[in-house]
Amino acid sequence: MPQDIRRRDFLAATAAAPALARGAAAKSGNSLVSFRIGTALWLTDERFQDLMHYFGRFPGMADELAFFTSETHPPLPLEVMEQRAERLAKLMPQVRKLGMRAGINVLATMGHHAENLPNSLAAPWQRVMDIHGRISAGSFCPAQPELVDYARKVYAAMAKASPDFIWLDDDIRLAGHGPVTLTCFCDRCLANFSRETRREFTRETLPAVFDSGTLEERMRWRARWLEHNRATIDNLFREIEQAVHALKPGLTLGFMTGDRFWEGYGFARWTRTLSGPGHAPVMWRPGGGFYSDERPIDLVGKAHDVGRQVAALPPDVTVIQSELENFPYQRLRKAAHTTVVEASAHMAAGTTGTAFNVLNMRPDPLDEYLPLGARISATRPFYELLRRELGRSRTEGLWPAWNSELIKAVNPDGKWLDGGRLPLAEPYTLGEIGIPICYDFAGRSATALSRTAPLAFTREQLQEIFASGVLMDVDAWQTMERLGLAGWTGVRAVKGYDVDVHEELSKHPLNGRFAGWSRDCRQSFWKERAWALEPASEKTAALALLRDYGEKELGTGMTAFENELGGRVVVMGYYPWTQVHSLAKSSQMKAIVEWASNGRVPAMVESYSRISMWCRSTPNGKRAIVLLNTSLDPAEPVELRVKAPGTAYMLHPMSGPARPVKALAGRIRLPRLEPWNIYLLVEA
């Protein structure tokens, strides 16, 4: 890079970096900003000194550095791992001299997938295997004694290097080890499951118990396999915990995850195991896939993924650093602005900090990352504000229903081990139009049920869900009918139409001035069956009608019903979770959520704006709302309805000064939210 450009970038970076005192967070271990460092940046003295110089340019930006042990994704030979641990033992004191904690990130314990096999661990141990007997050459079965012994030795070597913490990476999972998907069905894992269930299984006979028998029997066997998977992970964690804490009692262990439905989402159990009998601290790093800003709205989708993972953690886990990854680390694929907004959205969804995996993974200078470091450094005060005001408070709003056994509801009448879509993602679209989303049952104002999701819950749990507000699609209604519980929905039967149907909002108070407005989702382009609903009661109200292109009425397309449990239920038969972004439809959906919740939604964007919002509480019980304008247009003005007694609020932008705003009769008017900018609104 030309010297004049390097100097100009450096001056801009240092001018933007605030002079922050980093000591308290780093010493306590409650790190707000962490960086994950590739091996190419520390294996040679030249690159390590360049790395130290980079962080020296941004005083106070980072609280800690986590050093990767590998550059590719299968495990490495034990002697290589031991050599790298010895080198890190010499380097980490230099990191601490800069005021940061230093730790180790074991990238591959059992292995992510097949990559760089000639230079990776080539032991003749069992690899993970799918139900058809296919393996991933780069991933070892975590139940094999040889792999467990290897893991104990690797983590013991890392503990001897005296890091401040050790991270276990997200290769410790049972799904997604390319080229196979759902594992592990090797002979040992099948023998373990046979012993646990007192019934002999082979790869040929096991699928039958998941796919045959009564619906109840299929769900029960699938739940038993998920418990088997939880235990498989837990057993490996127990061995690692013992190996580490035998040498370094109290050393903090951390684990990185994504959504872990196939593994049974055993977060609370795994946390206890990693903590060990000495109750050592445990950190967590929830993650997901968002690597470039080519589809900006996926930033919000990943925040929802992160939020679910946080909701599954016990409250004593207080160091939760979201995984923010710009893989493969080419600066122009994701803007610095996108990166800092993403970290803020993760904190809005529940994390208490961020682990940035954004620097080059090759042995090249870091000049091109100066603007990114400057932007992260400049945004740190906003991260500090978010953590101070939000902490670990739960999100509140519309709950897309899920639990640790949701995956058992996939393909209830088909081949479970062939995989399929989880009945989960669709309702999150409502979060794009100003309806707050929450991630756990306790924070719900109303529940969104999609497809076969009811199969993941017991009758008692469903009764509790339907005793409050519910929005559901017809697939979920059909699932409830199958369970004999359709009486709670206000709908008796349905009739499907595959072509040429559009929706018209009915004359009902919930539709207000939009009665008669219509929506055509173009079945000929975006194919989805439209359903006419037959009301089961005279109390069932029609919120929308279905018509063909000749304007012939085909029946009721959306219903509202108050059942004997006291719950308010809306069944939606026409494109329930997609194409809801028009003025009439978005207004109707907000009114429906407000009605179904019986007025319990904590806040909502009333104006016609594409804004994602997260509703939380401050430590002293005040209302806190994070607003993200997900449009390329500015949102102006923005009208909010807030259910909080306060009349004075402070609006904090991601950068720049805060300003006071007033609430009049529960309404707040914000003059302007900039495109793809994020704000914190806090009750004074």
* Residue pLDDT, tens place only, 198-231: 999 999 999 999 999 999 999 999 999 999 999 9
Does the domain at residues 611-683 carry the CATH identifier 2.60.40.1180?
yes
pLDDT at residue 586, rounded to an integer: 98
Tell me what pLDDT residue 455 has.
Answer: 98
pTM recorded for the entire structure: 0.95
pLDDT higher than 70, residue 250: yes
Q: How far apart are CA 352 and CA 342, in angstroms?
A: 13
Res 11 pLDDT > 80? no
User: What's the CA gap between 221 and 213, in Å, rounded?
Assistant: 10
Does residue 236 carry a pLDDT above 60? yes
pLDDT tens track for 511-545: 999 999 999 999 999 999 999 999 999 999 999 99
Q: What percent of the chain has pLDDT over 70?
A: 96
State the pLDDT at residue 647: 86
CATH class of 397-599: alpha beta
Alpha helices in 57-102 (DSSP H): 78-97
What whole-number distance in Å separates Cα of residue 161 and Cα of residue 383? 31
User: Among residues 214, 238, 218, which one has the least CA distance to residue 226?
Assistant: 218
- Two tokens, residue 490: 């206000």
Lowest-confidence pick of 75-79, 360-364, 580-584: 360-364
Q: Which of 324, 320, 404 is nearest to 372 (CA)?
A: 324
The pLDDT of residue 193 is 98
DSSP 8-state symbol, 428:
G
DSSP 106: E
Interval 170-201: pLDDT, tens: 999 999 999 999 999 999 999 999 999 999 99
pLDDT score of 13 more than 90: no
Mean pLDDT of 251-260: 98
**pLDDT tier for residue 419 given thresholds of 50, 70 and 90:** confident
Q: Where are the domains of the chain?
A: 3-112+140-172+231-390, 397-599, 611-683
Tens digit of pLDDT for each residue in 424-482? 989 999 999 999 999 999 999 999 999 999 999 999 999 999 999 999 999 999 999 99
Where does the pLDDT of residue 10 fall: very low under 50, low under 70, confident under 90, or very high at 90 and above?
Answer: very low
pLDDT of residue 663: 94
The pLDDT tens digits of the residues spanning 282-336 come to 999 999 999 999 999 999 999 999 999 999 999 999 999 999 999 999 999 999 9
Q: How many other CB atoms are there within 10 angstroms of residue 208's CB atom?
A: 12
Q: What confidence tens digit (pLDDT) does each residue in 59-76 have?
A: 999 999 999 999 999 999
Q: Burial-class residue 470 by CB neighbours within 10 Å (0-12, 13-18, 19+).
A: buried
Cβ–Cβ under 8 Å, residues 31 and 321: yes
Per-residue confidence (pLDDT) for residue 7, from 0 to 100: 34
Alpha helices by DSSP H, 417-569? 459-466, 474-482
From residue 502, give the alpha-carbon distance in Å to each of 430, 495, 517, 588, 683.
20, 15, 11, 16, 42
Both tokens of residue 287?
């993650």
Q: Is the peptide bond before 634 cis (omega within 30 degrees of 0)?
A: no
Mean pLDDT across 39-44: 97
Residue 653 β-bridge partners: 679
| 271-290 residue pLDDT tens | 999 999 999 999 999 999 99
Indicate the pLDDT class of residue 29, thresholds 50, 70 and 90.
low
Residue 560 has what pLDDT? 98
DSSP state at residue 673: B
For residue 60 the two structure tokens come to: 């106070």
Quick one: pLDDT at residue 644?
Answer: 80
In angstroms, the CA 22 to CA 497 distance is 62
- The residue behind tokens 């207000």 is 512
Average pLDDT value over all residues in the chain = 94
pLDDT reported for residue 15: 38
In the predicted model, is pLDDT for residue 8 greater than 60? no
CATH superfamily of 3-112+140-172+231-390: Aldolase class I (3.20.20.70)
At 30, the pLDDT band (50, 70, 90 cuts) reads confident
Structure tokens at 679: 């704000």
Distance between CA atoms of residues 225 and 174, nearest Å: 12
pLDDT at 12: 40
pLDDT in tens, 342-384: 999 999 999 999 999 999 988 999 999 999 999 999 999 999 9
pLDDT in tens, 607-649: 999 999 999 999 999 999 999 999 999 999 999 999 988 789 9
